[in-house]
Amino acid sequence: MSRIKVGIIGGSGLGQALTEGKSESGFYPNTPFGKPSSPIICSEWEGVEIAILARHGRGHIFSPSNVPFRANIFAMKMLGVTHILASGAVGSLREDVHPGELMIPDQVIDKTYKRENSFFGNGIVAHVEFDQPFCPNLRAILLEAGKSINTTVHDGGTYVCMEGPQFSTVAESNMHRSWGGSVIGMTVMPEAKLAREAEICYSLIALPTDYDCWKPHPKGKAKHDLLAEIISNMNKATARAIDLIKAALKILPEKVDEHCPCRSSLALGIWTDKSKIAPALVRELEPLLGKYMTHTPKENMA
């Protein structure tokens, strides 16, 4: 069995829960795309090597539009991460998805428009398949692990990813529901796209903290009571997500599919003639391209 290393990207709630109180030491490289959101803490849970990253940085300093997504995934790749379990707080768009429960989405509608969403494009063009935005193998492992968790873990659902940072209007929220959206959040994109380009299996645990604004609040409920309720749901979902990740790590080494298509997404994805890719670019993107670029590009050998 080849080595597996699991990256854990913690969103609002979970990111803080896993990194608070930890020292600033960790893997904090200068990638071609800048530094990751925070130093990556390398550790071991359930006998599996893990690498923990707080998506919004220590102290929640990056808004969804400003998270250095490319640096985060590139740094994970530099560490040899093979699988990513990410978490993200969301609003529920479905009556049956109750705040405090968990969801393992299987589809995405990407509405973001301010983010760099590829490692490629300047001197090298790549088109990876993305019909299944989340790794089916990793989703199955999370769902199986979810049977031992003390809450409902919803199997599948469409995550609508909005740019933010403001929340939706009621008209938008109703539109997202009419599109078939199950939950709405601000961070899974372009993270999942970049993980696919980096040939890392990626799955998301969505943490519904409230019903999005399509559902009217109960009359007479004070604003600070509503906020307290959201925080309480977030804390509940966060604790359950940590339980779920640990349960998944227990079964992951034996259940993992070594030949998952995510792990070779670039094999047919690089459209640029390899002899035309500048050696400097190959060196810069070595963690991503190394296995496909074993020879120095011909025309640059002179």
Of the listed pieces 96-104, 114-122, 201-209, 275-283, which binds Zn ion according to CB under 5 A? 201-209
Among 214, 208, 160, which residue's Cα sits nearest to residue 184? 160
User: Do 236 and 118 meet the contact criterion of CB atoms below 8 Å apart?
Assistant: no
Residue 38 to residue 186: CA distance in whole angstroms: 19
Catalytic residue chosen out of the listed positions 96, 106, 210, 225 = 210
Of the listed pieces 27-35, 114-122, 155-163, 259-267, which binds Zn ion according to CB under 5 A? 259-267
Identity of the residue, 108 or 186, whose beta carbon is nearer to Zn ion in the bound complex: 108
Interacting residue with Zn ion among 42, 78, 175, 260 (CB under 5 A): 260
Interacting residue with Zn ion among 262, 270, 288, 289 (CB under 5 A): 262
Minimal distance, residue 198 CB to Zn ion, in Å: 12
Residues 133-152 close enough to bind Zn ion by CB under 5 A: 135, 137
β-pair type (158-161, 183-185): parallel
Tracing tokens 């769902």 back to the chain, one arrives at 143
Q: Which residues contact 243 (CB under 8 A, 6 or more apart)?
A: 149, 150
Residues 18-47 close enough to bind Zn ion by CB under 5 A: none
Among 49, 55, 44, which residue's Cα sits nearest to residue 16? 55
210 has catalytic annotation:
yes
How many positions of this chain bind Zn ion (CB under 5 A)?
5
Q: Does 201 bind Zn ion (CB under 5 A)?
A: yes
Of the listed pieces 61-69, 162-170, 205-213, 252-260, which binds Zn ion according to CB under 5 A? 252-260
Identity of the residue, 37 or 137, whose beta carbon is nearer to Zn ion in the bound complex: 137
Minimal distance, residue 140 CB to Zn ion, in Å: 10
273 has catalytic annotation:
no
Residues 67-126 close enough to bind Zn ion by CB under 5 A: none
Identity of the residue, 237 or 245, whose beta carbon is nearer to Zn ion in the bound complex: 245
Among 135, 31, 47, which residue's Cα sits nearest to residue 83? 135
Q: Does 252 bind Zn ion (CB under 5 A)?
A: no
Identity of the residue, 87 or 203, whose beta carbon is nearer to Zn ion in the bound complex: 203
Residue type, 198: A
The two structure tokens encoding residue 12: 């609002």
Minimal distance, residue 141 CB to Zn ion, in Å: 10
Catalytic residue chosen out of the listed positions 110, 212, 243, 273 = 212
Q: Which residues contact 269 (CB under 8 A, 6 or more apart)?
A: 126, 127, 128, 129, 197
DSSP tally for the chain: helices H, then strands E: 8, 10
Element (H, E) at 137: helix 136-146
Residue 15 to residue 213: CA distance in whole angstroms: 25
Cis status, amide bond into 190, omega within 30 of 0: yes
Of the listed pieces 30-38, 156-164, 226-234, 255-263, which binds Zn ion according to CB under 5 A? 255-263
Integer angstrom CA distances of residue 265 from 32, 115, 126: 21, 22, 10
Minimal distance, residue 255 CB to Zn ion, in Å: 12
> Which spans of this chain sit near Zn ion (rule: CB under 5 A)?
135, 137, 201, 260, 262
Question: Catalytic residue positions?
Answer: 210, 212
